[in-house]
A and B are shown apart, each in its own frame.
Chain A
Amino acid sequence: MAEYLRRMPDGGEVFRRTTTVWSLLKLDPWLLGGLLVLAGFGLTVLNSAVDGSSAAIQRQSVYLMIGFFGMLVAAQIPVYRYARLAPWMYLVGMVALIAVLFIGVGAKGAQRWLSLSGFRFQPSEIMKLAVPLTVAWYLAKRSLPPNPKYVGATLILMGLPAVLIFLQPDLGTAILVAASGFFVLFLAGLSWRYILTAIAAVLALIWPLWSFVMKDYQRQRVLTLLDPESDRLGAGWNIIQSKTAIGSGGWSGKGYMQGTQTLLDFLPESHTDFIIAVLAEEYGLQGVLWLVLLYLFICLRGFWISYNAQSTYGRLVGASITLTFFVYVFVNMGMVAGILPVVGVPLPLVSAGGTSIVTLLAGFGILMAISQDKRQVN
C-alpha cells in the first residue's frame, strides 16, 4: 500500500517524461549535467597542470569524448543484460589479470598493463566495474540479507581479483576493487556482526601484514605518511610539496596558471594523481569547495537514482558505483592532502589518463541505464 502511494503521484510524471529527449537517449539529465561540468572544470585545471600543453589537453579531450560516448552506449543496455553480462565480464577480467602477471608491461617495478596489438589497457580497470556488477548479480538472485554461505562466496568473488591486482603490485586499485564489491555486500544488508568481526580481524591482521606481506615501498609510503618531514628530499617530497601547494593557495588561490608550485615543477605528478593540489593552489579553498560540491551533487544524484531503482540488482549496482566513485574522490583528495597513504588513485574525471575516465563514465552509463530502467518497467 505504501509502495503504491509512493508511486502514485509520479505516475503522470513518469508518463510525461517518456516523451522527452532524455528518456529516448536513456540518459539522466542531472547526472549528465554534473559530469559535463566536472569534465569541463577538470580540463581547465589540467590545462594549468600541463602548463598549456595543447597536446595533453587534446589527448584528455579525446579520452573524455570516448568516455562520454561509452557512457551513452552503456546507458542503452538494459539493466538485466548487465546482470547476464557481468559473470562473463568478470571471467574475461580474471583471465586478463592472470595474463598481466606473466605478459604484462609497466614501469617502476609494477606490471599493470596488457598490450594488445599496440593498444594498452589495465585489466584492473575492468574489474572496477566487473566486481560490483558480478557481486550484485550473485547476491540479487538470493534472498537478502545474505546468509554466511553467500557472504563467503561473495568474499571470494571480490577477493580473487583484489589479490591478483595486489600482486601486480597495485595496492590502491586492489583495495578499491575489493571495496566496490564490499559496498554491494554492505548495501545488500550484510549483518553488522560480520562487519564488526571483519574490522576486528583486519586490526588483528595489521601486524602480520606489515611485517610479512607489505613491500618496502608500501611500508615506506605509510611511514612517509605518518611523518613526511622525516625524509624531506626522498619519500616525503611529494607530500610536502603537495601540502605546500594546497596550503599556499589559501582561500582564493594564486590565480589561474599562477601556481608557482605547479609551474616551477615542485609539485610532482601534477597532471595525474596530484592534480587536486594544482586546483587548490590556483583556486584556493573556494575552488576545492566548488569541486567538492560538484562531486557531492553527482554522488547524491547517483544515490537518488539507486534509491529509486526498480530492481534490487539496479539498487546494489547503482549505489556501489556511486560509492566507489566517491571513495576515489576521498582517497585521492585525502592522499594529496597528506591524511591517507599515497596509493596512486586518480581524481575522477580531472586527472589526466584515459582508462580511468572510460571506466568511470562507463559506470555512470550503467547508472543512467538504471535510472531509465524504472520507467521502462512502468
Chain B
Amino acid sequence: MAVDRNLLKDTNREGRVFADRLIVTLVIFAVMLGLIVLRYFHLQIVDHAIYATQSDQNRLQTQPLPPRRGLIRDRTGRLIAENEPSFVLSIVVERTEGLDDVIQRLKQIIDLSDEDVSAFQRRRPSTRPYAPVPLKFRISEEERARIAVNSHELPGVEIEAQLIRSYPLADLFAHAVGYVGRINERELETLPEGPYEGTFHIGKTGIEKYYETSLLGQAGVQTVETDARGRIMRVVDKTPPVPGKDLTLNLDADLQLAAAQALQGQRGAVVAIDPRDGGVLALYSSPSFDPNSFVNGISYKDYGELRDSPDVPLFNRALQGQYPPGSTVKPAIGLAGLHMGLVTPGSTVADPGWYTIPGDDRRYRDWVLRIRGRGHADRVDLHMAIAESCDVYFYDLARTMTVDRMHDFLQDFNLGARTGVDTTNERPGVLPSSEWKLQNRGRPWYPGETLSVGIGQGYMLATPLQLALMTSFLANRGYAYTPSLVAEFNGIASEAERLKLPDIEPSHWRAVIEGMEAVVHERSGTAHAMAKGLQYRVASKTGTAQVIGIAQDEEYDETEIAERHRNHGLFIAFAPIEAPTIALAVIVENGGGSSAAVPVARAVLDAWLANPGKGVMRNNVVVSNG
C-alpha cells in the first residue's frame, strides 16, 4: 500500500498546489489584517472623540457634597442637635461569591429584615455593575464591628458613613427645637433641587423647620474620578459645601430639665422668658417624645403609639395648647382698671362670695364660696383681690370696664394674637370682644360673659407662651420683647422687637405688683406654700381653668370628678421682683388647681435664680454691657 501511494504522489504538483493555496491564504490574510486595522482605525481615529468622552464619563462623576447641617446649642453651649456619623451597609453584587450566601450570612450576623432585602432587590436594577447597592441604613457600632470581624467571608460587603441628625438630649427639647425627617415625596416636588442635592433630611417642625434655610447651608459639588466599583480614586474638581449656620438658643437645658422633672407624669407645659430680651429660657411640653425616632423614619407602630396616646405627646402644649388663662389675667385686668380710673388701690368691693349683675338674679360665684361658705372679706381691695384671687372684685371691675375696653387693653399684652416667636405651629388663642363674638359666633355679647372674661374664663383662650409674654410685660412694668428661641445666629445676636404698653402710672404698677408679690409672700396668698425656703422674691398669680362647665349652684368637687375633667392648674410668675430676669407661665392639665402648677414654677425658677451661674450672673453681664 505504501509503495502504491508513493507512486501516485506527485511532489511537484503538491508543491504547486501548496504555493497556489498559500497565495490565496495570503490574500485572505491581508484582507483580515486590513479589516482589523480598519476597525482599530475607525475606533481610535474616526470615533475617538466619542469614546474619549465616554471614557471620561465613565471615570468622572459629579457628586453633590451635602453641607453639614448647622448645630443647635443651648445658651450655655450644650449640644441640642448635632450630626452623627451613621453607617450604611451596601453590597457590590459583582464582588460577592453568590449573593444569596452573603445575605444569609449577614442575616446571621446582624439584624436584617426581609423588608431590607426586598428593598435592596428593588434598588439593584438601577445600579450599574460594581457599584454598591445599599442594603441597610443605620448600622449600629456593634453591627459594624461584627461585619468587620467577619469581613473575610463577606466579599463585596461595604460600609459607608453618612452624617445623620441626632438629638443627644432626646425628649428634653423635642417641642422646643423640633426635628428633621427624611424628605418625603410631597416635599420633593416643591423643594428647589440644587440646595438639597445630596441632602436627605429637612426640618419638619420647630426651630429645625423655622430656620431650615440657615441650618441647611449650601450644597457643594465635586468631580471625582471613580473606579468601576464607584470608589473615589481622585478628586478632580471641588466646590466645597458651605456648612449650615450654627444656632445658639436662649433655652437652657437645666431649666428644661427642671421643667421636665417637675412635670413628670403630668400633662402640661412651661414657658419661661427672660423679660430683659425676650429670650425663651424654657419651653417644655409634657409628655414629650424622642425626636431621634423621627430622623430616619419612625416605624408605623411607634408612630401609631405616639399619635393615639391619650396624652398626645406630639401636641406642643406650650405653643399650640390654648387654655382659658383663668385668674392669671387678673393682674393685667387690675392694671387696666387702675389705668382707666375705674378703681384705685384703695377702692373696695363688697364680697359676699358671689356677684350679681344689677337687674339679674344669677349668682356669679367666687371660688372660695365652696370652701368658706362666704367671700374673702366684707370688702376686698385690689391687693387682696390679686393676692387671694378674688373673683367678685374682678366681676365688678369687668362689668364696669366692659368687654371691649378689656379687649383693647389686653390686646397690648399680645393676648389673642401669635407672639411671633421664631418657631412653627404657634396658635393665637382668643381674646374675645363683642365684635369677635358677632363674627365668630353670630350672636351679640351678653353682659354675663364679660364677667367670665374678667376672671379669664369664657371665650378667652391663651397659650402658655402668650401668658409668659404677658408676665414679661408685668415684670418689665410696661414693655416686653417678642419671644425668641434663638439667641445667636452664627455668632450674631438676634434682635427682638420691643413691644410696649400704653404709659401707666408707676403707682398703678406698684399696686398690681405688690398684689402679685403677696400671692406667695403673704400668708393669705394663694401660693403661699411656695414661700418656704424661697431665696428670692417672686411676683406671681395663680389660676384655675374650668375644663367642664359647672352649672349654676352646682358644686365643683375635685375628688368626684374624673381626672380628665378636673380643672387645669395655672401659674404665672416673675422674679426677682425688683430686677426680674425670668417670667414664666405654667399649666398643668387637669391638675385640679393652681397648686399643681406652683411646684413646677418653683423648680424652674430655682433652676434659674437659685443657681449662681445663671440669672444673677447674666444680669451683671447685661448691666455692664448696657
Contact = CB atoms under 8 A, between A and B. Distances in A.
B12 interface: yes
Interface stretch (A39-47, A59-67, A113-121, A333-341): A333-341
A307 B15 CA distance: 9
A205 B36 CA distance: 27
Interface string A236-251: 0100010111111111
Interface string A262-300: 011110000000000000100011001100100010010
Interface in B1-46: 2, 5, 8-15, 17-22, 25-26, 29, 32-33, 35-37, 39-41, 43-45
Given A303-B26, A333-B36, A250 B21 contact: no
Interface string B51-70: 11011101100000000000
A292 B55 contact: no
B37 A292 contact: yes
Given A187-B25, A326-B29, A246 B17 contact: no
Given A189-B18, A296-B33, A333 B225 contact: no
Interface string A313-333: 001100100010010001001
Contacts of B15: 312, 315
B130 A189 contact: no
Contacts of B5: 141-143
7 contacts: A186-B21, A188-B14, A247-B47, A247-B52, A250-B45, A251-B44, A285-B41
B33 A144 contact: no
B9 A288 contact: no
Given A248-B55, A333-B36, A284 B25 contact: no
B129 interface: yes
A3 interface: yes
A211 B21 CA distance: 35
Contact of A264 (B11, B26, B29, B225): B225
Nearest to B9: A143
B383 to A, nearest CB: 85
Question: Chain B interface: which size bin?
Answer: 35 or more
Given A142-B5, A250-B45, A288-B44, A303 B22 contact: yes
B44 A247 contact: yes
Contacts of B225: 260, 264
Contacts, number: 147
Interface of A: 3, 141-145, 183, 186-189, 232-234, 237, 241, 243-251, 260-261, 263-266, 280, 284-285, 288-289, 292, 296, 299, 303, 306-307, 312, 315-316, 319, 323, 326, 330, 333-334, 337, 339
A319 B48 CA distance: 37
Contacts of A285: 40-41, 44-45
Nearest to A286: B44
Nearest to A292: B37
Contacts of B20: 189
B14 A312 contact: yes
A334 B36 CA distance: 6
Contacts of A280: 40, 43-44
Contact of B48 (A3, A186, A187, A248): A248
Contact of A250 (B33, B44, B233): B44
Nearest to B51: A247
Contacts of A251: 44-45, 48
B298 to A, nearest CB: 35
Contacts of A330: 32-33, 36
A150 to B, nearest CB: 11
Contacts of A244: 51, 54-55, 58
B549 to A, nearest CB: 71
B112 interface: no
B21 A333 contact: no
B128 interface: yes
Given A248-B52, A251-B45, A189 B17 contact: yes
Interface string B99-142: 00000000000000000000000000000111000000000000
Given A284-B44, A303-B22, A337 B54 contact: no
A319 B24 CA distance: 12
Contact of B59 (A142, A247, A264, A299): A264
Nearest to B10: A143
A264 B129 CA distance: 13
In the A-B complex, the 9 residue pairs with the smallest Cβ-Cβ separation, listed nearest first, are A247-B51, A248-B55, A189-B17, A264-B227, A143-B8, A265-B228, A285-B44, A247-B43, A250-B48
B21 A237 contact: no
B229 interface: yes
Contacts of B56: 248
A265 B229 contact: yes
B50 interface: yes
A103 B44 CA distance: 45
A264 B131 CA distance: 13
Contacts of B43: 243, 246-247, 280, 337
Contacts of B52: 247-248, 250
Interface string B141-182: 000000000000000000000000000000000000000000
Contact of B40 (A141, A142, A288, A316): A288
A307 B39 CA distance: 30
A148 B85 CA distance: 79
Given A247-B50, A250-B44, A266 B58 contact: yes
B441 to A, nearest CB: 67
A292 B44 contact: no
B226 interface: yes
A20 B2 CA distance: 37
Nearest to B8: A143
B225 to A, nearest CB: 7
A292 B36 CA distance: 9
B21 A299 contact: no
B29 A188 contact: no
A288 B36 CA distance: 10
A296 B34 CA distance: 11
A334 B129 CA distance: 24
Given A241-B58, A261-B59, A288-B37, 13 more contacts: A186-B25, A187-B18, A233-B128, A245-B55, A247-B52, A248-B51, A249-B48, A260-B225, A261-B58, A266-B228, A303-B25, A312-B14, A312-B18
A325 B138 CA distance: 57
Contacts of B33: 292, 296, 330
B23 to A, nearest CB: 10
A246 B21 contact: no
The interface centre, meaning the residue of B17, B18, B39, B44 with most chain A CB atoms within 10 A of its CB, is B44
A248 B54 contact: yes
